[in-house]
Structures are given as C-alpha cells and as structure tokens.
Amino acid sequence: MPFFKNLMELPRTFTCTLISRSRTHLLLNLLLILTLFLLSSWLATHSLIVTATALASPFLFASNYVSSFSSISPSSTSFVTGLHGNWTLSSVSTIERTRWNSRKTQSDIISNLASCDIFDGTWVVDDTRAPLYPPGACLYIDENFNCFKNGRMDSDYLRYRWKPHGCSIPRFDGRKMLNMLRGKRLVFVGDSLSRNMWQSLICALRESFKDKSRNNEVFGRRKFRTKGFYSFRFRDYKCSIDFIKSPFLVQELKASGKTGTQRGRLRLDMIQGSSSNYHNADIIIFNTGHWWTHQKTFKGKHYFQEGSHVYDRLETKEAFPKALRTWAQWVDTRVDSNKTKVFFLGYSASHFRGGQWNSGGSCLGQAQPITNETYLASYPWMMNILESVLAEMKTPVFYLNVTKMTDYRKDGHPSIYRHPGMEGGHRKIQDCSHWCLPGVPDSWNELLFATLTNITP
C-alpha cells in the first residue's frame, strides 16, 4: 500500500539529507525519525482495527438479532413454496428491535445469517406481557369465545407466550400492522377456527386506538353464527378485515330427497360460490379441517359429488385431497400472486377427553398446557395431504402451521364456558375445539404480524 511504502522510505530520505550535518543533529534527527516511525505504525495498526470493527459490527448485529423464517419439510413447515416456474422464496427475517438498530431499516440488515421455524417452540410463562386486549373488553368477540364474560374465573391460560426455539418474534404492534394494511383488504376464508382468528385480530388492532369508537365499523355484528359474511373496517386506514364462512372451501349444496327432506351434498369439484367476492383481496388466509371430521362427512355415504356423480360411499381421506386440489387449482387460476398474498392456517388441535363434542367429550378443569411432547397427538393426516397439495401449487402460499403449538394448549378452550349460563344443557356439550379470547389465536396473529413485517415492502 502507498501509505506503508512512504513510511518505509522516510528513514532513507532523512538519512541522505542529514549526512552533512553534525553528529549531534544527526542523533537528534535519528531519534525524531524513530519517534515518527513508531507513531505512524501505531496509527496504521489502530486504523485497521477500527476499520475491521466497523465492518464486522453489522454481522455481529445480524447474528445476534436476526431470526429468519425458512422453507422446511412437511410436518414442520413455516412456508411452502411453489415448485413450478422460476419463483423461489428466500428467507424472511424477523428483527428484534433494540435501541441501536431502531434507526436501521430492514434493508440495512443481512437477514440470512440465521434461520428459524417460528412454529417449532414452546409455551413459556410471561407475566411481563398483558394480553393483546383485556378480557371482556372487546365488543366483537363471539359469545361462544368470550370465556371471561361466560364465567371462567381462572386466568392462568392468559399467562403463556409462544417462544420459538432459537429465535424471537416481535411483539404485536397494532398501529404498525394497520399501517401495513393501509388501503388494503385482508380476508379470512374458512371455518369457525378462522373466525376465532379473525375476531382476535380485530380486537388486537382495535386496542391500539385511544378512541375505540371513531375509527372502525362492523357489518354482521351479533349475527356471527348465522351469517356467512362479516366485515370490519378501520376508516382512518381505509382497510377492511373480513371473514367469509367456507368450512370446506368447496361448495356444499342442498338437495331434496325422495321424501322432500333437504339433504346436503358436497361438490368436490366446485369452489364455494362466494370466492368471486375475495379473489382480488390483498391478503387471503384460508383454512379448513374440522368439518371434515363431522359424522356426516366422516361416513361419506351419498354425500360427496363430482359433476353429476354422487358417490355411494367415499372415504374422507379420498375426498379431502380432491377438494383441496379444486381449491388449489382455483387459487393458481384466479389469484394474482403479484397482488395477493395467500396464507393457509393449519389444523388447530382439539382436546376432547372421554368422547367427542356430541358424545360427552370434556376438557373442563384443564389449567395448564401439555409440557411433555410425548403426550401430544400424532400429526393429523389432513395436514400431510395439505402440505403435499401446497407443494404442487404454482402460487406461493405462506403456511401458518399452528398444529403442534395448539396441541400443547389443552387449557385454552371454552369448555363449559361457551355460554353465559352453565346450568342445564350447556354443561352437557363442551367446546374443546375453539379457543377462549383473549387466548391462543392471539399468538397466531403475532406470527402473522411477524410474517407480514418481513414480506411487506
């Protein structure tokens, strides 16, 4: 380097100049040269150290504070990517905000230094965090999910926070999420577990307002169980968050039997008719699963139909992939992935003991999550089928694989607290499928927020 070359040439230059001078001056000048040389060497060394430290600091920051989502194999999948065409999904990072990096933008951070499956983790007690909204305070929770108002007195189920192994997720920030959703439409499409998540998100976003009456409006309020479309709008942000009931994703029809009675048929080759109302939304979150375990579906007698053919009997394990492929083909054909982000919410675990929902099954008295993985249920066969279908799609689908994280939470269901009164018939049928709100679905929305934070420009 020229800098070091010039330093090395200094003694030679000074020596030639000083030959004619007296010995005293020569000695003084030699001491001066030696001092300058040592000082220059010290400065050069420390300049390199400062430069190396400056270069290394972003990498040290990234390795300490960046946790990324990655594409991984079925049964532990954060994202399922399209296998056709040139589309690939790179790692998406979650940034833990600190005082040092609060001035940094995500583009300043190297995000691929670590990877993390945010759905592989554990529930930890965290008394430093309050629920995303106070129990009983949100007006838009279905009566069946409002355990606090329905008399559930224990609150330990609200103390748990989902903690992924090896990384952290950002705390839900309602205002930040609303800014990401400004001018956009987010639609949940699915069964009542999807409605569980929809109401959780509305309440969490609403809590970010001081004046909770001015900035929003809802359509379909107090008719959550009877209508098929509900919309909540945040006027100041010009965004809407909708729920469309579609428990199978494909079309269920009513047909008249020989005796004049109405009999349901499920068209495995036809997407539900309401699909035309949301195909161009900015974000769509689909789910299905629980209705495929109902008695009429499970038996499969004269219920499943393709074209004009009604199957005398078709096993659910054969019908379910047919329906999912109908849905996948519709998404690949009708949804513009350049505009719309597609999510799929995985199967949410149930915890009936001693029977099912209609045969005396119970989860009453469960006050703590499962802590030993050996007591978890086996991975649902429906999710293996779902993951294989997603992997065949051209459209990128963000897979919210909540199956395992919900399987731990036997303590989070409404049980008998699904109605204001607990007497009589209400005690006989318990709800061990849905979740109390606030509760477990709030963590799903925290993971949704973390994902959107890192895929939204």
Q: Which sequence positions are flagged as catalytic?
A: 192, 431, 434
Taking the C-alpha atoms of residue 239 and residue 43, their distance in angstroms, rounded to an integer, is 58
Residue 385: strand, helix, or coil? helix
CA-nearest of 79, 121, 160 to 435 is 160
Taking the C-alpha atoms of residue 158 and residue 175, their distance in angstroms, rounded to an integer, is 22
**E strand residue ranges, 184-261:** 185-190, 216-219, 229-234, 239-245, 250-256
The label of the residue with tokens 């030639």 reads: 16
Taking the C-alpha atoms of residue 8 and residue 16, their distance in angstroms, rounded to an integer, is 14
CA-nearest of 42, 32, 25 to 11 is 32
- Tokens coding 69: 């989502």
Count of CB atoms within 10 A of residue 198's CB? 28
Phi then psi for residue 94, to 5 deg, are -105, 125
Taking the C-alpha atoms of residue 341 and residue 398, their distance in angstroms, rounded to an integer, is 8
Q: Are strands 216-219 and 229-234 parallel, antiparallel or unpaired?
A: antiparallel
Residue 102: strand, helix, or coil? helix
Taking the C-alpha atoms of residue 234 and residue 183, their distance in angstroms, rounded to an integer, is 10
The amino acid sitting at 45 is T
Taking the C-alpha atoms of residue 199 and residue 224, their distance in angstroms, rounded to an integer, is 10
Taking the C-alpha atoms of residue 352 and residue 15, their distance in angstroms, rounded to an integer, is 94
Peptide bond into 438 cis (omega under 30): yes
**E strand residue ranges, 352-431:** 397-400
CA-nearest of 400, 406, 445, 446 to 197 is 445
Count of CB atoms within 10 A of residue 280's CB? 14
| 376 contacts: CB under 8 Å, gap ≥ 6 | 370, 404, 407, 408
CA-nearest of 335, 238, 245 to 288 is 245
CA-nearest of 447, 444, 366, 434 to 142 is 434
CA distances in angstroms from 72 to 115, 167, 307, listed in the order given: 10, 16, 37
- Tokens coding 320: 């379910």
